[in-house]
């Protein structure tokens, strides 16, 4: 495992000599140390990225960049098991989930290789204008040096979501991973070096948000900022970007609803509700953490959910059969446990609400379900980011939609119903950037991803993700041999 910063193709210690502890959330023990980069290291990384943009990298074709992207994808796939095991120790998630994430990361680099090649075909495309004496065409330029700040819940995958489109577009980047989960970002730097990615195109600076992250957000030579994380930090990043009029995209929090009608298939609903809130320990920005269920089906559905939640195997992510690992850190554990205590005073605890009795160490919490949750409750309105489901009931479709949309967030939403016309109608009425019908959380990399309201600005993934890192340039040419004749009369 790597320990140093990756800047300009070289491994280096932090300039101020600091380190950060890497803790296994399953046993709360430090198992590694990484360099804790500060503003000086960010400055060096940005300078390296800027030099790369000024050099041959800026003249590469999409086809050339695709070659690097596919080589990175191949290395990730080749090293999938080792990378996934690092992710488990670093983040805590069960190994099957980590293997899925690493596979998706490889797919992401391959996908953007294809988009980079397609970009060559779009360069110089002619845009029709109403005056035949002129020709307008569009070229797509890289946005410049890009600062990428990624969260701890999907460390390698979230890095791939940003690094792959940025490189496909021709940007040079500085990647700042979470201080809780820095290891696979550094492995990505190693892989980039192994495939011969030019120096300075990918730089990885591990460190704390208040130092390294803050400097990356305010650095005058960074022209594009892409951030995934909490709303308060996203607001700070956006404010910093506004001072220099930087391009910014934000993927922030959520408190996503899943609306369940009486005609929904109970067993399918149980599966998708659980997947929507207990996958990745509920540490998912799009987690469908508010279940809004029609009164007629509510008692039976809640009973089945409680029954199945109690069967979930909780333990170390490396242990066979584990389906719920520890939360990522002591800070997150304490936060979610506090919400569980708050919920006990706001609603009816159905199951969970505490540390599993058989686990005396590690940041483990039981899958938790609260029923009869009022719309004024904190556990109904605030993002918990843990395995906590809040349940409320409705009688009419309008009431369900009002409950679903009455939120400051708008990242995702889901509806469960066998009435397909109603399901489509409800999907259209959701105030959310991502909507699921008769499922929750499946995420493909080709459609756009992002939210409305306080859930963010802009879209990632698909060609939308590529466009995040491109600046269209209009080139208009006067074709006629006749004089324009506005001032100089013939």
- Cβ–Cβ under 8 Å, residues 391 and 373: yes
Over residues 39-91, the pLDDT tens digits come to 999 999 999 999 999 999 989 999 999 999 999 999 999 999 999 999 999 99
* Beta-strand runs (E) in 116-156: 125-127, 134-142, 145-149
Q: Tell me the Ramachandran region of residue 309: left when phi exceeds 0, alpha when psi lies from -120 to 50, beta otherwise.
A: alpha
pLDDT band at 489 (very low <50, low <70, confident <90, very high): confident
What is the reported pLDDT for 490?
65
* Positions marked catalytic: 251, 285
Q: Mean per-residue pLDDT for 418-435? A: 98
For 212-270, write each residue's pLDDT tens digit: 999 999 999 999 999 999 999 999 999 999 999 999 999 999 999 999 999 999 999 99
Is residue 5 a contact partner of residue 204, using CB atoms and an 8 Å limit? Answer: yes
Bridge partners (DSSP) listed for residue 434: 412
Q: For the whole model, what pTM was predicted? A: 0.96
101-106: list long-range contacts, CB under 8 Å, 24+ apart. Answer: 101/154, 101/156, 101/157, 102/76, 102/156, 102/157, 103/77, 104/157, 104/160, 104/445, 105/76, 105/156, 105/157, 105/159, 105/160, 106/73, 106/74, 106/76, 106/77, 106/80
Distance CA 184, CA 177 (A): 9
Give the neighbor-by-neighbor strand order of the sheet with 172-176: 10-12, 5-7, 202-204, 172-176, 145-149, 224-228, 247-251, 456-457
The percent of residues above 70 in pLDDT, for the chain, comes to 100
Question: How confident is the model over 393-404, as pLDDT tens digits?
Answer: 999 999 999 999
pLDDT value of position 11:
98
């Amino acid at each position: 495992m790597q320990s140093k910063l990756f800047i300009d193709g070289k491994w280096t210690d932090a300039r101020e000599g600091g380190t950060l502890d890497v803790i296994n959330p399953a046993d709360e023990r430090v198992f590694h140390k990484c360099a804790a980069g500060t503003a000086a290291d960010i400055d060096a990384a940005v300078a390296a990225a800027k030099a790369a943009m000024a050099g041959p990298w800026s003249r590469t074709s999409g086809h050339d960049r695709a070659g690097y992207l596919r080589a990175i994808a191949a290395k990730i796939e080749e090293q999938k098991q080792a990378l996934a095991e690092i992710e488990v120790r670093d983040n805590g998630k069960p190994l099957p989930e980590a293997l899925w994430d690493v596979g998706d990361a490889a797919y992401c680099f391959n996908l953007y290789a294809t988009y980079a090649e397609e970009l060559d075909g779009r360069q110089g495309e002619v845009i029709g204008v109403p005056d035949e004496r002129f020709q307008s065409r569009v070229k797509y330029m890289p946005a410049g040096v890009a600062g990428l700040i990624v969260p701890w819940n999907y460390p390698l995958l979230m890095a791939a979501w940003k690094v792959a489109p940025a490189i496909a577009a021709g940007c040079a980047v500085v990647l700042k991973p979470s201080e809780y989960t820095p290891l696979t970002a550094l492995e990505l730097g190693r892989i980039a070096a192994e495939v011969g990615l030019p120096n300075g195109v990918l730089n990885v600076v591990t460190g704390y948000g208040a130092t390294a992250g803050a400097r990356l957000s305010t650095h005058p030579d960074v022209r594009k900022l892409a951030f995934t994380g909490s709303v308060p930090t996203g607001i700070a990043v956006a404010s910093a970007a506004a001072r220099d009029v930087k391009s910014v995209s934000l993927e922030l929090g959520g408190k996503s609803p899943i609306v369940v009608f009486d005609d929904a298939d109970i067993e399918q609903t149980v599966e998708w509700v659980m997947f929507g809130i207990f996958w990745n320990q509920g540490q998912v920005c799009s987690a469908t953490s508010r279940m809004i269920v029609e009164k007629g089906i509510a008692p039976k559905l809640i009973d089945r959910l409680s029954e199945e939640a109690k069967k979930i195997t909780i333990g170390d992510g490396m242990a066979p059969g584990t389906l719920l690992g520890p939360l990522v850190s002591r800070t997150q554990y304490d936060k979610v446990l506090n919400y569980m205590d708050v919920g006990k005073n706001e609603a009816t605890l159905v199951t969970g609400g505490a540390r599993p009795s058989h686990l005396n160490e590690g940041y483990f919490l039981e899958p938790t379900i609260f029923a009869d949750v009022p719309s004024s409750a904190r556990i109904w309105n605030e993002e918990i980011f843990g395995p906590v489901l809040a349940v409320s009931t409705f009688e009419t479709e309008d009431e369900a939609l009002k409950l679903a949309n009455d939120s400051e967030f708008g990242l995702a939403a889901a509806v469960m119903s066998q009435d397909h016309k109603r399901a489509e109608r409800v999907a259209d009425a959701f105030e959310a950037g991502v909507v699921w019908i008769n499922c929750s959380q499946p995420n493909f990399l080709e459609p756009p991803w992002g939210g409305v309201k306080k859930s963010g600005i802009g879209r990632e993934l698909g060609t939308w993700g590529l466009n995040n890192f491109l600046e269209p340039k209009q080139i208009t040419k006067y074709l006629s041999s006749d004089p324009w004749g506005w001032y100089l009369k013939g």
